Structure 1
Amino acid sequence: MDETDTACVFCEIAAGRQDTGRVLFEDETTIAFLDHTAVTPGHTLVIPRAHAADIWEISAEGAAAVMRTVHSMAARIREVLRPDGLTLFQANRSAGWQDVFHLHVHLVPRRAGDHLTRPWVASVKGDDELAAVRALLATPLER
C-alpha cells in the first residue's frame, strides 16, 4: 500500500479527498481530525500523511512527527475543552484492537465519572516473572 492508497480511508483523508470538514490541523507529515465515531466530544485522531500500517511499519522520524502533533493537539484540547483528563490510545494489528490499518493515535478527552472504563484489570506480577521478561527485552536497541 502506498501513501495515497485509495483502499485506505485515512490515506483518503490525508490526501484531502474525504471528510475534510473534520480536519483540525495539518502539516507536511501529519494530520489531526475529529473521529466520526467519537466516544466523547473532541475525540481526535492523529495520523501520518504517508501510509504506515502500524507502529512496526512507521519510521522513528514518522512516529516522532505523529507524537509532536499529538502533543500539540492535547494542549489545544486542554485549552479549549478543559477536560478533567485525556486518554491516549494507539492500537496495532487485529490482536491489538486496531480496526483501521493506518497508524493512528486517539486523543479522548475525559470527564470524571464518564461512561468509559478500562479494558483490563491490572494485577501485580512476581519478581521472577518480571525478571524472565526483562531478560528477553533488556537488550541494546537499534536506532
Structure 2
Amino acid sequence: MRPTTHEPAGYKCPFCRLQTGVFDDRNQISDVVAVTDRAYARIAPKWWPANAGGALVIPRRHVENLYEMEPEDGHGVWDLTQQVAQAMRLSYACEGISTRQHNEPAGDQDVWHLHIHVLPRFSDDRLYQRHLDARWIHVEERRPFADRLRSTLQLPTSFA
C-alpha cells in the first residue's frame, strides 16, 4: 500500500534544487560535505542551541519518506549516515551522536524529501526538550562546520 503524499502541488524540493545548482540562503554548495552515488550529506541550515553543526544525509533520488525508499537508496543513505556520524564524533569532539528521521506531518516531517538528521550530542544538552528553540543559521556560521566534516570525510563533494 502506497502512503498518501503530503508534498503540495508544485513543490520545489530544496534538496533536489541544491543538487541542480539552485541556491538560496538555506541551501548553499558550501554546505555539501560528501556526495556518493546514492546519497549526499550537508550541514543543516537549522540548529538547536547546544548542538551546532548538525548535518543532514539525503538520498539523491527524490523520495518523500521512508515508506517509499528503494533498498539501494536506503543502504546508501545509512552508509553515509554512519560515515558522517564518525566524522562528526572525531572532528567536533562531541560526546555522542543522535540521528532523527521524520515521516508525515504527524511525525514532524516538514521537508517533503526524506533526510536523516545527524546531531552532535553533549552531556546535558537537552536537545529533545529544546525543539522550539531551533534557529536558522547563516551560511557563514555553517561554513566552519562544513569545512571540518569535509576535511575528515575526504569524500567527493560534487554532484557532477
What is the TM-score of this pair, normalised by structure 2? 0.67
Which of 124, 127, 130 pairs up with 1:113? 124
Report what 1:30 is aligned to: 39
What is the TM-score of this pair, normalised by structure 1? 0.75
- The alignment status of 1:84 with 2:95, answered yes or no, reads yes
Bigger helix fraction: 2
1:118 Cα deviation after fit? 5.6
Amino acid at match of 1:8: C
Quick check: 109-118 or 90-99, which moved more?
Answer: 109-118
Please tell me the root mean square deviation across aligned C-alpha atoms, in Å: 2.0
Confirm or deny: 8 A CA contact 1:6 1:12 kept in the other structure: no
Confirm or deny: 8 A CA contact 1:22 1:34 kept in the other structure: yes
Which of 3, 12, 16 pairs up with 1:11? 16
> Runs of 4 or more off by more than 2 Å in structure 1?
14-18
Counterparts in 2 of 1:91 and 1:6: CA distance versus 1, 3 Å: closer
Which of 46, 59, 76 pairs up with 1:48? 59
Structure possessing the higher relative contact order (Cα contacts under 8 Å, 6 or more residues apart) = 2
Structure 2 unaligned runs (5+)?
1-9, 131-160
Confirm or deny: 8 A CA contact 1:84 1:112 kept in the other structure: yes
Larger Rg: 1
2:66 and 2:128 map into 1 onto residues whose CA distance is 24
Count of aligned pairs: 116
